[in-house]
Structure 1
Amino acid sequence: MKKIALLSLFWMLVIACAGHAANEVSANEPQGDGYVITGKVSFPLSKAKVQLWKIQDNKLVPVDSAGLDKNNMFTFKGTVKEPDFYVLNFYNTQKVLIVLENKNLTVNVDGNKPTGAVSMSGTPAMDDLQKVTTWMNEAQQKVGALQKEMQEAALSKSESGRRNVEKKLNHMREENLKQFKSIVSQMQPGLSQWYALNTGVLNPEEEYKYLLPIVTNIKKSMATSKYAKEIDGYAAQLEEFSKALQVGQNAPEIALNDTDGNVLKLSSLRGKYVLIDFWASWCGPCRMENPNVVRIYNKYKDKNFEIFGVSLDREKKDWLGAIEKDQLTWKHVSDLKFWSSEGAKAYGVRSIPATYLIDPNGKIIAKNLRGESLEAKLGEILGEAK
């Protein structure tokens, strides 16, 4: 699923700026019907100003600027027509996403580095945004550390080291998902919760049952918002996912050209356990997962198991090049139609990698298994290979 357009602008801003609380100051008492933003900068730059930007038409538009007083504090005052996403820019070093409405807000920052500490408060939306961005920054740091371990294991060609890090990553993904869902469930319906759903942490295709009631409440609370149309579209896609192929259903036929230009049907593999693997040469996560798939395939290929790779590539040379480079020795097909692939349409695939495991009778028995979870499922079905 495509994320809302504004995220392309401020997604990395938020990841960079979230952190533990800085030295806090309290907001002033409400003044009139507008907003008041107050805050303190721990490490200010001489004569530099803090800028307030609005996110408009997928661009950052300057709204106001403010200098710091002798206590390194800044203040913005004004009015907004409706709650919306804005960005506070501290000397082009630290940028902070906020939800601005006609209330009093407090934003305290480090101001010295992109990952400097931030504390936001004043409204339920800001409290929620603080929780989300803080969690995401911490999660990113943990995942980054494990990815570094994975690279070191790959360089040292340590199979045991790689497997150990892979287990850690899988466990972390599961824990991160639980933690993030817990945070989102406790948020109030509104802009901050809508932002959280569009960060990419939750896969709508896999989490539609969890997301549908949340999005329904967001729709009600933001019925007159500028984002109402986007929210309606998101909800409609969740409804589509709810009608998509599920475990227990028969796998639709796929009949596409193989690497030699001959039509290969999925049904020709009937009688085997088959992993349908939707991927592409341009898909980074797919290519990162391929070494795991190769290892698992070599482990179970002699135990009535086959892989049916469906590529969403556009150029045959790219498709074949990736197959050769990644040493993917199983069955491959593609119509080279990118996201318009007939195979992807038949399975409702909207993001990759995506996998479907089918039994010898052509029935779907699992979806979106990767790494350790795929290996565990095959071990359960086929027994541990020697």
Structure 2
Amino acid sequence: MRRFILLIQVMLIFMVACDVEPEGFTIRGKLSNAAGKMVFLTSDEYRDSTLVSPEGSFTFFGQIPEAEFLYLYVNPANSVLLLVDTIDNLEVNGDAEDLFNTFEVKGSKNAEAITELYEKFADRLAELRQIAPPTPDEPDSVLLAKRETAGKIITNHRDYLRNYVRENISSLAVLPALYQSFDTRSYVLNPETDYELFKEVDDSLMANHPGSKHVKQLHANLIEVKRKIDFEKSRPKDVTENAEAPDFSVPDPEGNEISLSSLKGKYVLLDFWASWCSPCRIENPTLVNAYEKFHSKGFEIFQVSLDKSKDAWVKAIEKDGLKKWKHASDLKFWQCVPARQYGVQSIPANFLITPDGKIIAKNLRGAALEQKLSEIFNK
């Protein structure tokens, strides 16, 4: 009798154990036109497959260390992207022969968000394909109309993506939206022209998913993008008279950021100098005289130093009596960002800027500076 009871207990334990699904994620669903075929679930680091039943059903059980993007397909040329978390229980249905346009996902907010994202993309793609390809004898007016139509479709999708990104900004579901493309030449959203949006995503995902390899990759990519943007801004430019004065923001001696645009409304002499530059130091008394004579009439001086040593820079300001006006430096020597923006190749160098931000004169030294200021203020 005791053996019989023990046998029953073992059988019950076995039955319960068989009824408990393994720890991890589950993906179930039905695929039409796939009976008897293999369906695959893959990523760079994960690969699984299972046989679709005669009724079209399939089931995956799997374990992943963190939320992962997995491709589901019967034919790799017609796959769908799923965002699968470690314990998700998802249902995926669709037509295996046209999975991209027919799939539906239920079971998680993230997966459903990506489904919506790809539905919108498929709709826009269908709209673009309705535009007839250009022909050799097509009038320019027709070609222009087609381009305008395509441009509106892409602009509408771009607006949708920006809204989608902000609505899902703390979720990994935001990542596919950043890299959607209608062709192989460019993305709808661009990390350079849309840098601020990408930065918002990066900040949010680094706070919410710091361990994700996808988030780490985005973060690393964005650092490179920022370097490229900064480099382009700092490239020497041919800054000519009557041109718009490029704006910049650099720390003052106290470490507070100060921008050129903060001085708009006054005539500003933007002067590049350094404590180690003898001609600059010789020119400084001229600046002091001009400031004392014209400051009350709306004249300001903004000196940007190409120093490497903060101590030497600050001492030179004190010694030459220059504390009356604004000073700034990034202490990068000849790699000084504002100097590169203005194409400064030697110092001293200066630019006289109007109250509305236009450059009206360059390299005014000695008597030439006072003469120009007299023309402006003593009319």
State the TM-score, normalized to the length of structure 1: 0.50
Of 14, 27, 30 in structure 2, the residue corresponding to residue 40 of structure 1 is: 30
User: What residue identity is the alignment partner of 2:174?
Assistant: Q
Distance 2:112 2:169 in 1: 10
- Percent identity, please: 17
User: Would you say 1:125 and 2:110 are equivalent positions?
Assistant: yes
Which residue does 1:164 correspond to in 2? 145
User: What residue identity is the alignment partner of 1:53?
Assistant: T
For the residue of structure 2 that corresponds to 1:51, the secondary structure is: strand
Paired residues for 1:272-351 under 5 Å: none
Distance 1:108 1:135 in 2: 18
User: What residue identity is the alignment partner of 1:105?
Assistant: L
Contact 2:202 2:215 in 1 (8 A): no
User: What residue identity is the alignment partner of 2:65?
Assistant: K
Distance 1:169 1:362 in 2: 40
User: What residue identity is the alignment partner of 1:201?
Assistant: V
Which residue does 2:190 correspond to in 1? 203
User: What residue identity is the alignment partner of 2:117?
Assistant: V
Which residue does 1:217 correspond to in 2? 204
Which residue does 2:158 correspond to in 1? 177
Greater relative contact order, per chain length (Cα 8 Å cut-off, separation 6+): 1
How far 1:110 moved relative to its partner?
A: 0.5
**What is the alpha-carbon root mean square deviation over aligned residues?**
3.4
Distance 1:244 1:182 in 2: 30
Paired residues for 1:1-386 under 5 Å: 31=21, 33-45=23-35, 47-56=36-45, 63-92=47-76, 94-101=78-85, 102-113=87-98, 115-146=100-131, 148-149=132-133, 151-152=134-135, 155-199=136-180, 200-237=187-224, 239-240=226-227, 243=230, 252-253=236-237
User: What residue identity is the alignment partner of 1:126?
Assistant: A
Contact 1:49 1:91 in 2 (8 A): no
Q: Which has the larger radius of gyration?
A: 2
How far 1:117 moved relative to its partner?
A: 0.8
Contact 1:85 1:97 in 2 (8 A): yes
The verdict on how the C-alpha distance between 1:79 and 1:161 changes in structure 2, with shifts beyond 3 A counting, is same
User: What residue identity is the alignment partner of 1:48?
Assistant: K
Contact 1:36 1:103 in 2 (8 A): yes
Distance 2:235 2:102 in 1: 50
Once the two structures are superposed, residues 205-241 of structure 1 have per-residue CA deviations (whole angstroms, 9 ceiling, x without a partner) of: 1112233222210111220112343122134245447
Distance 2:241 2:162 in 1: 38
How far 1:141 moved relative to its partner?
A: 2.3
State the TM-score, normalized to the length of structure 2: 0.51
Contact 2:72 2:80 in 1 (8 A): yes
The more displaced of 230-239 and 66-75 is 230-239
For the residue of structure 2 that corresponds to 1:77, the secondary structure is: strand
How far 1:271 moved relative to its partner?
A: 8.2
Distance 1:30 1:105 in 2: 17
Unaligned regions of 5+ residues in structure 2, if any? 1-18, 181-186, 245-339, 342-357, 361-379
Distance 1:88 1:30 in 2: 25
Contact 1:212 1:238 in 2 (8 A): no
Distance 1:231 1:92 in 2: 25
